[in-house]
Chains A and B, each alone.
Chain A
Amino acid sequence: MKPILEVQNISKKFKIYHEQLPYESLRSKLMNPLSFFSQKESEVFWALKNISFNVNAGESIGIIGKNGAGKSTLLKVLSKITPPTEGKIISRGRIASLLEVGTGFHPELTGRENVYLNGSILGMKQKEIQNQFDEIIDFAGIEKFLDTQLKHYSSGMQLRLAFAVAAFLNPEIMIIDEVLAVGDADFQKKCIGKMEGVTRSGRTILFVSHQMGLVNQLCSRALLMNKGQILVSDTTDVVTAKYLSFDYHESENIFIHTPKLTDNKEMFIEKVSTIDDKGRPSSVFGFNKEIKTQFALIVNNKISDEILSVALQDKYGNRIFTIHKPLNQLETKDNRLTGTMIIPANFIAPNIYTFHFAIVKSDGKVFDIHEGQCRIRIADTGTPFSQYEGKDYGNIIISCKWE
């Protein structure tokens, strides 16, 4: 079977105009009247360069990449909003694009009128809307306000209504931009359930998101874009892992001791860094990856019962756990002790955390102490909570037995 969507060498060029400083241009233009008719200085910018990929019917594909990577432009070209400069796309199905929910909603119209207008803009036939009208309203949960003007709706209600209409779109190919990232958690869950239903029913989805967890959950394959080109095209877990490392591994995540006069010279923490499973410094870890924290300590005294205390703190400073490691169990080379702590994978919930570390003696004497160091982010790579990304559902994810 031929692919439902063939993207062949798509490129998109934009011209960026540089406006000169007003006084400069006015003066120069007055000096040279002809310049009024001359072209403004412009620079060519390729938002997309030679993009090619195929999508088979029933596949759901995630498109990820940093801001400005060209994801949105690609979606706009695919949805015919803007033409490509070069290349072509062959589509073998009806495309509906959802770059925004509630496109065309008008505050002066009632909820009912807006459902019809918005549905029609999204490409639904009047009959289709009529047949599904009750379901749409039910999904949005706004029966009572059906004939109230939209401007009197709360923003949450407007959003729910907008989603509800979109949720009942029924095209062969659906293009979705980061639109699921809004709304309250319950409603998000409802929408994601609906999306999963769509993929299961064998329709094709192209999905742009920054939420790796969602991409992992919904898409089987993903494209990683960078500077208008496709960097990686592979299964979702490979691509999201690549995205996380590619995006952040350059950023060092190191604590280094800075000597001060008041320092304790007997023992101190010289260096702490977090590294990924390939040994590269990293500050972002997938939920399904181990987090390795390397410690280097300088000890100029004889070691007795001192311990290295390490704690992980959430962004509010609450402790997640504490580890005590006796110094005499660390690897020793001259006056330098080293060790690597491995936080298990699939345990710490996606969020932002910092480390607290100290060298203490069992009698309570503190040699060296540092708080809020080595900030790390744990990225969702498809936890059961991925649709609640950014919400507080605790700091650890465990599975419990039920009886």
Chain B
Amino acid sequence: MEYEIKPAKGLQFNLKELWDFRELIYFFTLRDVKIKYKQTVLGALWAILQPFLLMVIFTVFFAAHLDIQSYNLPYPVFVFSGLILWNVFATGISTAGNSMVVNSNIIKKIYFPRLIIPISGILGTLVDFSVTLLMFIVVLFYYLPSFSFLSICVLLPLSLFITLMTTFGAGCFLAALNVKYRDFRYIIPFMIQVLLFLTPVIYPVSIIKNEGVKMLLNLNPIAGAIDILRGAINGTSPSLALVGQCLLISFILFSVGLSYFRKTEYYFADLA
């Protein structure tokens, strides 16, 4: 085994190295998950309670005022289907975005592919996702026993994939920026709040009358992913244009985020 250590340049992705370190990804993810609910009474139940309570609150306050004809979904199902993907995105970018700073003491003392840290941060949120998913299925059975199980089985992974690509791209980008400019520690939570309003999680796109704003919202891959999932509940197939557009934009975000992370990665130990 011979290798060289040279001045940093270029943008190669060493997938083999990442694969060699797969166990570390596992242990970091395990750590994040374990720590998250340590010393809590309810433990992982929080992963269910948070979206569930939000669903209840939104239902009580908004259901009567919003026109959700476009999907033909009961409002609780409507809002839960939005929240389940939104939570992956929101928790994902906040965990990944802060991960490099949180783990700076490790970064400064030992080498491993830095990408492992945001990856395991995002994988950790998937554990929450699977727990929430169980709750979602219960909610579905309760409000809409006639939901289309088959199309959910096909389209949920697709919408989750789009969400993950987006989350990963944005998360890595923010993580790298956060190492250099600690302002992002404050920008990230604020950004998530703003994005919640810019993503049709609790309201349907149809309430927006302004065509320009609608166009802009359509560019949001998370909005697209939620759209695909909501359609799936009724057994509606999404238009290929929508799927293509979401995949494309999330892929662009993914590549830009990853490249920026890769480019700045070398100097994390000097800056952190």
Which A residues form the contact surface with B (CB < 8 A)?
A: 14, 76-94, 97, 99-100, 103-104, 106, 108-109, 113, 116-117, 120-123, 125-126, 149
- Report the minimal beta-carbon distance from A126 to chain B, rounded to whole angstroms: 5
Q: With a CB–CB cut-off of 8 A, which chain B residues contact A106?
A: 31, 35
Known: A76-B269, A97-B110, A103-B110. A86 touches B7 (CB 8 A): yes
Q: With a CB–CB cut-off of 8 A, which chain B residues contact A86?
A: 7
Q: With a CB–CB cut-off of 8 A, which chain A residues contact B6?
A: 83-84, 88-89
Q: With a CB–CB cut-off of 8 A, which chain B residues contact A113?
A: 30-31, 34
Known: A82-B269, A120-B23. A99 touches B5 (CB 8 A): no
Report Cα–Cα, A85/B109, bound state, in Å.
19
Q: With a CB–CB cut-off of 8 A, which chain A residues contact B8?
A: 83
Q: With a CB–CB cut-off of 8 A, which chain B residues contact A89?
A: 4-6
Q: With a CB–CB cut-off of 8 A, which chain A residues contact B23?
A: 120, 125-126
Known: A103-B110, A116-B27, A121-B24. A78 touches B34 (CB 8 A): no
Known: A14-B270, A79-B111, A81-B111. A91 touches B3 (CB 8 A): yes
Indicate if the CB atoms of B24 and A94 lie closer than 8 Å.
Answer: no
Query: Number of contacts between A and B (CB, 8 Å)?
Result: 89
- Report the minimal beta-carbon distance from A92 to chain B, rounded to whole angstroms: 5
Report Cα–Cα, A290/B106, bound state, in Å.
45
Indicate if the CB atoms of B110 and A120 lie closer than 8 Å.
Answer: no
Which of B35, B110, B269 is the one whose CB lies under 8 Å from A121? B110
Indicate if the CB atoms of A80 and B106 lie closer than 8 Å.
Answer: no
Number of interface residues of B (CB under 8 A): 30
Which of A76, A80, A108 is the one whose CB lies under 8 Å from B39? A108
Indicate if the CB atoms of B5 and A97 lie closer than 8 Å.
Answer: no
Closest B residue to A124 by beta carbon equals B23
Flag whether B38 is at the interface (Cβ < 8 A): yes
Known: A106-B35, A122-B110. A82 touches B270 (CB 8 A): yes
Q: With a CB–CB cut-off of 8 A, which chain A residues contact B108?
A: 81
Sample of 19 further A-B pairs with CB below 8 A, known A89-B6, A109-B31: A76-B269, A81-B108, A81-B110, A82-B267, A83-B5, A83-B266, A83-B267, A88-B7, A91-B4, A92-B1, A97-B110, A97-B111, A103-B109, A103-B110, A108-B35, A108-B39, A121-B24, A126-B23, A149-B38
Report Cα–Cα, A286/B136, bound state, in Å.
73
Known: A104-B106, A109-B31. A88 touches B4 (CB 8 A): yes
Q: With a CB–CB cut-off of 8 A, which chain B residues contact A99?
A: 109-110
Flag whether B112 is at the interface (Cβ < 8 A): yes
Report Cα–Cα, A113/B33, bound state, in Å.
13
Indicate if the CB atoms of B269 and A81 lie closer than 8 Å.
Answer: yes
B1-37 interface with A by 8 A CB criterion? 1-8, 23-24, 27-28, 30-31, 34-35
Indicate if the CB atoms of A121 and B112 lie closer than 8 Å.
Answer: yes
Indicate if the CB atoms of B1 and A94 lie closer than 8 Å.
Answer: yes
- Report the minimal beta-carbon distance from B201 to chain A, rounded to whole angstroms: 32
- Report the minimal beta-carbon distance from B236 to chain A, rounded to whole angstroms: 45
Q: With a CB–CB cut-off of 8 A, which chain A residues contact B106?
A: 103-104, 121
The 6 A-B pairs with the shortest beta carbon distances in the complex, nearest first, are A83-B8, A80-B111, A89-B5, A120-B27, A81-B269, A108-B38
- Report the minimal beta-carbon distance from A354 to chain B, rounded to whole angstroms: 40
Closest A residue to B267 by beta carbon equals A82
- Report the minimal beta-carbon distance from B34 to chain A, rounded to whole angstroms: 6
Q: With a CB–CB cut-off of 8 A, which chain B residues contact A109?
A: 31, 34-35
Q: With a CB–CB cut-off of 8 A, which chain A residues contact B270?
A: 14, 82
